[in-house]
Structure 1
């Protein structure tokens, strides 16, 4: 999947950025595991703490206080911030509860994703992976973020009639 994603990014001339919390850089690592990815991958932000989200991505402290780090609002702000603070054309974000634990309102396995594409509204979604265990939630979130990027590229291909 990652090689296909990067091939499409090369085809469209897109550069990618990541803004990661619960995945801790796993999405960026997957992208950079492919030789030649530096042509398509601009940078990754690992913003595990709220302070890092604010300092590196410009996420509003008020937004974090109102919705919490694990929210679609923060996922959107993270993706937008990654675009603003990079040379990328699209950015994906991850923020969630990998576990162990969670709460009644934010259970283990909940991950919010954001996709920001230059010139388009940000798209967000929340996936409930369930209490799979920390490693498996993080891997599932990584794979889902890559799939979001791949879908964004495929949509562009379909819209162009290619």
Structure 2
């Protein structure tokens, strides 16, 4: 229910500012785009979504640099910023959000434990925000918390 409310509020804000959004998602698997498209009329402010789960997809669809991936990994500030920039480059949107993380229950390490999610938000005008969060719970709980965080920050950004 909370996701629906956030997505509806985001839509109102984007319509008011005549902006469109694009998503670039890895660990959320399209969850941000799905939450957005539950809103009737979202086609007027949702441009498109990229689900780029593999490193190859990140490189081919969003032009994430292979050096960035090998040096910092897929779950890093550097990678999500490149994903968010690439999503804007390959769409007609004004705002982007990117997610990459480890939803679990496996795949974590001491350096990057399960539940670590990196986010990046960018505007066509050049502003970039990036943030790391650590969520807890099942894979689904981690993903839903990540979707909620992405939408909350998009709402803040679109209101400025």
Class of the TM-score when normalised by the shorter of the 2 chains: over 0.9
Q: Which among 107, 116, 121 is matched to residue 115 of structure 1?
A: 121
* Structure 1 ranges of 4+ moved more than 6 A: none
Which runs of 5 or more residues in structure 2 are unaligned?
Answer: 1-5
1:43-67 per-residue CA deviation (whole Å, 9 max, x = no partner) reads: 0000000000000000001100000
Partner of 1:142: 147
Q: In the TM superposition, what are the counterparts of 1:1-162 in structure 2 within 5 Å?
A: 1-101=6-106, 102-130=108-136, 132-154=137-159, 156=160
Give CA deviations for 1:104-150 in whole Å, capped at 9, x if unaligned: 010000000000101123110000113x1101000000111111110
Aligned counterparts of 1:26 and 1:96: Cα–Cα separation in 2? 13
Compute the TM-score of the two structures, normalised by the length of structure 1: 0.93
Structure 1 gap ranges (5+): 157-162
Q: TM-score with structure 2 length normalisation? A: 0.94
- Inter-partner Cα distance in structure 1 for 2:78 and 2:23: 16
SS at match of 2:16: helix
Q: Cα RMSD between the aligned structures?
A: 0.7
> What displacement does 1:21 show?
0.1
